[in-house]
Amino acid sequence: MRAAVAALAGLIFGIGLTIAEMTNPAKVLAFLDVFSGQWDPSLIFVMGAGIALYGAGFLILKRRTAPVMGDRFHLPTAQGIDTPLIAGAVLFGAGWGLVGLCPGPAFAALSLGGAPVLIFMAANLAGMYAFELVGPRMTRGQTAA
């Protein structure tokens, strides 16, 4: 049952990314490349609409003490701005700006991007696994969301 809920949520997520065309790296780069003369601000509307709906729903859900099918809400416990947060965001931003793919759209693009996406995904998973090996020594008190 837990897996069925997650599959449905993932499916809606993937459909949303596709309708917004965030699965197309050229469209994401057209947002990030602000000074190209052909700036495409669409990504701001994806984020804005997502934040508005999720934020409103979160306010309502916050009154509950536990999710419908679980014992507790899992939220990040880390507080304050630290070096891992900034360094991680810098590295991520650099990779994102190079090719226009981030984790969600990369999974969604697996069926449409052919070899380039497969290469990116292999490296992405390798990078994530490398963090599992060395990460605990680099971060303190952070738990996965």
Partner 1 sequence: MDFSNFTPGAASIGGLLIGASGLILFALLGRQAGVSSVAGGLLRFDLRDLDWRLAFIGGIVVGPLVVAFVRGSELPFEITFNPWMLVAAGLLVGFGTRLGNGCTSGHGICGVSRFSVRSIVAVVTFVGVGVLVATLARLGGLS
- Least CB distance to partner 1 at residue 56 (A): 9
**If we measure between CA atoms, which residue out of 128, 87, 93 comes closest to residue 107?**
128
Shortest spacing between CB 20 and partner 1, in angstroms: 2
Q: How far is the CB of 111 from partner 1 (least distance, A)?
A: 6
Place of tokens 């809920």: 5
What does DSSP assign to residue 143?
-
Place of tokens 């693009």: 109
Residue 22 · residue 105 · CB < 8 Å = yes
Look at the alpha carbons of 120, 121, 123, 127 in this order and tell me if their dihedral is positive or negative: positive
Q: How far is the CB of 79 from partner 1 (least distance, A)?
A: 7
CB 109 within 8 A of CB 101: yes
Residue 8: strand, helix, or coil: helix
